[in-house]
Amino acid sequence: MNTDSVSPVLAAAENFQPADSNSQAQAVPAQDARPDASHEKSFSPLVRQFLDYLQLEKHFSDYTVKSYGTDLIQFGQFLMGEIGQGPDVPPLQLAGATLDEKHIQCDAIAVRQFLNFLYSRNYTKSTTARKLATLRSFYKFCIRRGLLTVSPLSQIRTPKQDKRLPRCLDLEQVQKLLDAPGDADLLSARDKAMLEVLYSSGIRVSELVDLEMADLDLAEGVLRVRGKGRKERLTPIGSQAIKAIQRYFEIRTADPRLAGLPTTRVFLNKHGQSLSTRSVRRKLDKYLEAAGLDPGISPHTLRHSFATHLLNNGADLRSVQELLGHQSLSTTQIYTHLTTARVKEAYDQAHPRAGEPNIPHPASNPPTYFPAKAV
């Protein structure tokens, strides 16, 4: 394949250079590692075909394709013996000279050795699980192309994940955050509209920046959202979000710098170009500081808050699943753990004996016995 036609996403992933096994044990996530220009790695032809398949046929997001690419580069370096080899790790006995040949010759033993390497570098369970998911998808692709009959990961189990509840803002915190931008000028009105839409609809930040003018139906209060895999869904938005969008459009239309720009995107930066997800995060950080809220809150926290508040106020799980665009109901069920307090409150209010004093156990109040009278 001609490398001149490589997309920026794949090119960025190609520059990834994981640290070798002789460095410190502190794990560095693949997508956060700095590239080393003197050791740039390129995708093998098979890996490039796989990433093109994800991007062009499966319509995976740019971020997902980049993550898959960095994972496969690291795995390829391990197969070639460039990382992960040491006195305690026997060399891989794989036939073939090229990387693609080693990919095809890879077996379960090689995968387990790669997992041991990740474990020795203190990679988290979630990161390890993501890398395994990448390899499973890659070898599934190889099987579909007739290059393999059995995946080397067919007998490899994904490490059990630690159950972590998603963070959620309460209503007072949400109100502070939504009030922070104001709407006096173009950028503040835009930021307020973005935050209102994120909380009102529960859409992902990637879905927010991809919104186009044709996706808005403010009269009906509905957004058309393109989610993962380019799957479309309709999501309602509330009156406050609609009001914020209308205010933003009012100021934007009157701004001569943005008049007549050939763009269809809803949210633009100050130069009239599309916003990035990183820009939205920077804006959120700014308003978190202004509102005195935890700086660790992310745009996804608003999505978590949206789902939790719906369930707390009586929405059924299937409806929330559809609104969030989750393919599996089990993904949505995690939010039910956050509604326990609400369920307990409903029980206390509804059950006829919820507020009654505890019924004493017989052993706690033994009967009084009197000795028999002597005859």
pTM: 0.64
What distance in Å separates the CA atoms of residue 169 and residue 238, rounded to the nearest whole number? 18
Confidence grade of residue 5 (pLDDT, cut at 50, 70, 90): very low
Q: Which CATH number fits domain 171-300: 3.40.50.880, 1.10.443.10, 3.30.830.10, 3.50.50.60?
A: 1.10.443.10
Would you call 300 a catalytic residue per the annotation? yes
Would you call 125 a catalytic residue per the annotation? no
Please state the rounded mean pLDDT for residues 145-173: 86
Q: Residues 236, 201: contact at Cβ < 8 Å?
A: yes
205 vs 355, higher pLDDT: 205
Give Cβ neighbours of residue 175 (< 8 Å, ≥ 6 apart).
none
Point out the least confidently predicted range of 44-48, 190-194, 320-324, 340-344. Answer: 340-344
What's the confidence (pLDDT) of residue 315?
85
Has residue 280 got a pLDDT over 70? yes
What's the confidence (pLDDT) of residue 26?
39
What distance in Å separates the CA atoms of residue 36 and residue 38, rounded to the nearest whole number? 5
Within 10 angstroms of residue 215's Cβ, the number of other Cβ atoms is 19
Of the residues 204, 226, 252, 304, only one is catalytic, namely: 204
What's the confidence (pLDDT) of residue 60?
86
What's the confidence (pLDDT) of residue 30?
38
Q: Where in the chain is the domain with CATH 1.10.443.10?
A: 171-300
Q: Which of 119, 244, 222, 114 is nearest to 178 (CA)?
A: 244
What's the confidence (pLDDT) of residue 308?
87
Has residue 163 got a pLDDT over 70? no
Please state the rounded mean pLDDT for residues 73-83: 91
Of the residues 125, 136, 167, 228, only one is catalytic, namely: 228
Q: pLDDT tens, 314-366?
A: 888 888 888 888 877 777 777 766 566 566 666 777 777 666 655 555 555 55
Would you call 119 a catalytic residue per the annotation? no
What's the confidence (pLDDT) of residue 365?
59
Of the residues 66, 303, 304, 309, only one is catalytic, namely: 303
Point out the least confidently predicted range of 73-87, 155-169, 349-363. Answer: 349-363
Of the residues 140, 167, 281, 300, only one is catalytic, namely: 300
Has residue 157 got a pLDDT over 70? yes
Q: pLDDT tens, 85-119?
A: 766 656 676 766 799 999 999 999 999 999 999 99
Of the residues 326, 347, 361, 373, only one is catalytic, namely: 326
* The pair of three-digit structure tokens given for residue 260, joined into one six-digit string: 């007549």
Would you call 303 a catalytic residue per the annotation? yes
* The pair of three-digit structure tokens given for residue 136, joined into one six-digit string: 């499973």
What's the confidence (pLDDT) of residue 14?
55
What's the confidence (pLDDT) of residue 40?
39
Amino acid at 30: A
**Long-range contact list for 339-347, CB < 8 A, 24+ apart?**
339/308, 339/311, 339/312, 342/311, 342/312
What distance in Å separates the CA atoms of residue 290 and residue 196, rounded to the nearest whole number? 17
